Amino acid sequence: MPPRLVWQALSLLLLAVVWHGAALVAPAATLPPPLEVGRALVVAVTQGDLLRHLGVTLARVGAAFVLSLSLGTALGVALGRMPLLDRILDGWVVFFLNLPALVTAILCFVWFGLGEAAALAAVAVNKIPSVVVTVREGARALDPGYDAVALAYRFGWRKSLVHVVLPQLAPYLMAAARSGLALIWKIVLVVELLGRSDGIGFKLHVFFQNFDVTGILAYSLAFIVVVQAIELAVLAPLDRMTRAWRG
């Protein structure tokens, strides 16, 4: 096992120990010890509906992720390559960048009803601006020298996109994707808590009303594990792949 992983495991173990220590001194209902949360997690997976809610939330995260990344990338490239458009819309980007997730979620539900579309829109509106900023940076950094190569050798737009533009944008897209995953799932929970009747966020709401800290921690734990697994199994290898040529 590489030393970095050993350290990470030790670090998490330390967290569990500190947690356990804190649970010993805290009143029982406010902070259950890690083992009890672990047991609750197993029960929720095997007998409860954790997997169903997890699936629902992941589907929302996936949809919001694809929506935000694709719209944000298109907009970011456009702004990065068209200075006039950039000047006109820059204020908008700043505005939406600073709009709290809670506000967009509330407004989307008020305006579009408590539906799935409103939920997705709320998440996308929150994430798109930061994708735009990241990708715009990448689009500004595109080397016109390679455009000249593509033009001289008649690549056409599709080949240019795949072989000239995207490889240069890849690090920026990866950065947007990784920070996107981290941000989106948190916003999805807020949106679910406010206006959906399934998903992890909804369950957390129910646990909150019942003052069920064990349930809250068990569901959170499950979700952290899944999101980390996606990061490690999908995004990190993808990142390495797009960097391979740099050596």
List of residues contacting other proteins (CB under 8 A): 145-146, 148-149, 151-155, 159, 163-164, 167, 245-247
H or E segment to which residue 119 belongs: helix 116-140
Sole residue written with tokens 């694709």: 70
Nearer to other proteins, 89 or 149 (CB): 149
C-beta of 162: minimal distance to other proteins in Å?
A: 10
C-beta of 239: minimal distance to other proteins in Å?
A: 14
As a whole number of angstroms, the longest Cα–Cα distance in the chain is 73
List Cβ neighbours of 174 (8 Å cut-off, separation of 6 or more): 235, 238, 239, 242
H or E segment to which residue 162 belongs: none
Nearer to other proteins, 15 or 151 (CB): 151
List Cβ neighbours of 79 (8 Å cut-off, separation of 6 or more): 85, 86, 89, 90, 93, 132, 136, 139
Q: State both tokens at 47.
A: 């007998």
C-beta of 236: minimal distance to other proteins in Å?
A: 19
233 DSSP 8-state letter:
I
Interhelix angle 50-81/166-195, nearest 10 degrees: 140
C-beta of 75: minimal distance to other proteins in Å?
A: 24
C-beta of 151: minimal distance to other proteins in Å?
A: 5
Nearer to other proteins, 126 or 160 (CB): 160
Q: State both tokens at 93.
A: 């980007």
Closest alpha carbon to 104 in 205, 208, 195: 195
DSSP states along 15-33:
HHHHHHHHHHHS-TTT---
Nearer to other proteins, 99 or 149 (CB): 149
Nearer to other proteins, 96 or 155 (CB): 155
C-beta of 163: minimal distance to other proteins in Å?
A: 6
Nearer to other proteins, 150 or 230 (CB): 150
